[in-house]
Amino acid sequence: MKSPIIERMDVIPVAGYDSMLMTLSGAHAPCFTRNLVILTDSAGHQGIGEIHGGDYTHDGLVSMKPLVEGMPVVKYREVLQKIHKAIDPHSEEAGEGIQTLDMAKLKYVVRSEWAIECAMLDLLGQYLEVPMCQLLGEGQQRKEVEVLGYLFYVSDKGKTPAGEMQYLDESDSKDPWFRLRRQEILTPARIVEEAEAVAEKYGMRNFKLKGGVLRGAEEMEAVRAVKKRFPEARVNIDPNGAWSLKEAIELSRDMHGIITYMEDPCGPEAGFSSREIMREFKNATQFQVATNMIATDWRQFYHTVTLTACDIILADPHFWGFDGAIRMSQLLDTWGLTFGIHSNNHFDITLAAFAQVGAAAVGRVAPLDTHWIWQDGQNLLDDTPRIIGGMLQVPEGNGLGVHLNMEKVMAANKLYNSLPSHDRDDAKAMQYLIPGWKYDHKKPCLVRP
């Protein structure tokens, strides 16, 4: 049988609703944006992929159409090779990636072609009649993948002016989690409520708190409260490098037995890179360290492991590619380290992709990040993967194993087109919380004089 040919590549920008989630970089806007790649082949199959939003990424995908259309599905590696040869990796100044969580640099870290890789693997799996995870690395390793409860501080959306920034209101929802996720959550007691609601709805047994919002001591108090409520849970915190080395060491004192690992606790300082500083943190505290900030490409990864600065690499396939993420899991397994996946706001297409990557990863796999719990209910698929007992179920169908609902996709596209800006801006909403607020990678977002 001859391979089907890719006859058409569509790039559709979409938007969804978000809560006023707080991070080091500020407050999430009412809407997040993504780009969808839809490939249609000569056999009538549809392959899909999802990647970060923004005009930069959208335009990059559109420019790749001539390299994709007309190609046999089985030559997906050749397609990616052509794309990589056409792109000069040094044409943009990516600097140190996201060591300091500079959102302006994120577009250089995310590689738009990975959405094409996902869509082509989806088509190839349908052609060969196997799940996508069977095409990656050593094939399928598991039928379900553990995900963690991703906890966030949430600010009061009522502080933004009516008509200007309209956050989704779910106060009339019958679902306790849907109601809670749009409310203000800024205290340890409220963070515990959040964890309880997530555990009740999705059965999650492990949690991570996004830090870099309040003073470190307050955030550690919240972590202690979650651990007290869920004593068997693995509880972690990710301040995105907001703390100084000295502060991170002090905050970590007496936290063994409470925190399982620290994710990017500190960043560059005093002329030293995050990799060097994190190695010093490990020396001082003996904590395991995870990252999605200091190893975002293979060169950075080399220096990270050379310094033994991290034990857990969160290899988002939108940073590394699907083949690259699995290759990372193989290396980490060989070296006795741990694989995980980092998340950003996403639709259920990415949820399905995470399930496939998690199913194919070898060795130790940390519970995967996913923002999906904050977007749940905004499905673009007819058959969204389910999270049961804290485990993301791997679709059983061929390829990605899921199917688009084009009516919902076009509604999300309409929302996208209604937005005044398509690029991420976590600073705008902060102006209503703290007038004149400016991003500082060494100051938690709600800590200002």
| Domain positions in the chain | 6-134+407-418, 138-400
210 has catalytic annotation: yes
Least confident of 92-101, 118-127, 363-372, 436-445: 92-101
Q: How confident is the model at residue 111 (pLDDT cuts 50, 70, 90)?
A: confident
- Both tokens of 360, joined, read 């194919």
Give the pLDDT mean for 273-288: 96
Q: What is the pLDDT of residue 449?
A: 81
282 has catalytic annotation: no
- What are the Cα distances from residue 244, in Å, to 26, 54, 240, 372, 440? 19, 32, 11, 31, 13
pLDDT tens, position by position, 195-222: 999 999 999 999 999 999 999 999 999 9
Among residues 58, 210, 371, 422, the one annotated as catalytic is 210
| Cβ-based neighbours of 115, under 8 Å, separated by 6 or more | 35, 36, 37, 49, 50, 51, 61, 318
Give the pLDDT mean for 14-19: 97
Q: What is the pLDDT of residue 86?
A: 82
DSSP-assigned states of every residue in 401-417: ---B-HHHHHHHHHHHH
Give the pLDDT mean for 413-432: 93
- What are the Cα distances from residue 191, in Å, to 45, 152, 208, 209, 375? 44, 8, 11, 9, 18
Q: What percent of the chain has pLDDT over 70?
A: 95
DSSP-assigned states of every residue in 178-217: HHHTTS-B-SHHHHHHHHHHHHHHH----EEEE-SSS-HH
pTM over 0.85, yes/no: yes
d(CA 388, CA 51): 25
Which of 292, 319, 342, 325 shows the shortest CA–CA distance to 109? 319
CA angle 440, 208, 263 (to 5 degrees): 55
Q: What is the pLDDT of residue 109?
A: 59
Q: Is the pLDDT of residue 315 over 60?
A: yes
Give the pLDDT mean for 211-237: 98
Q: How confident is the model at residue 151 (pLDDT cuts 50, 70, 90)?
A: very high
Average pLDDT, the chain: 93
DSSP 301: H
Q: What is the pLDDT of residue 102?
A: 58
d(CA 338, CA 348): 25
For the domain covering 138-400, report its CATH number.
3.20.20.120
For the domain covering 6-134+407-418, report its CATH number.
3.30.390.10
Among residues 45, 342, 371, 422, the one annotated as catalytic is 342
Q: What is the pLDDT of residue 351?
A: 98
Least confident of 164-173, 185-194, 249-258: 164-173
The H or E element spanning position 353 is helix 348-360
Give the pLDDT mean for 363-391: 97
3-class DSSP state for residue 283? helix
Q: What is the pLDDT of residue 204?
A: 96
pLDDT tens, position by position, 431-449: 999 999 999 999 999 999 8
Q: Is the pLDDT of residue 31 over 70?
A: yes
Sign of CA dihedral 292, 296, 302, 307: negative
d(CA 415, CA 31): 9
Q: What percent of the chain has pLDDT over 90?
A: 88
Q: What is the pLDDT of residue 105?
A: 57
Q: How confident is the model at residue 393 (pLDDT cuts 50, 70, 90)?
A: very high
pLDDT tens, position by position, 42-64: 999 999 999 999 998 999 899 99
Give the pLDDT mean for 131-142: 98
Q: Is the pLDDT of residue 383 over 90?
A: yes
Tell me if 385 sits within 8 A of 351, measured CB to CB: yes
Which of 95, 97, 57 shows the shortest CA–CA distance to 296? 97
Q: How many CA atoms lie within 13 A of 186 on its CB side?
A: 15
| Cβ-based neighbours of 102, under 8 Å, separated by 6 or more | 95, 441
- Both tokens of 43, joined, read 């056999």
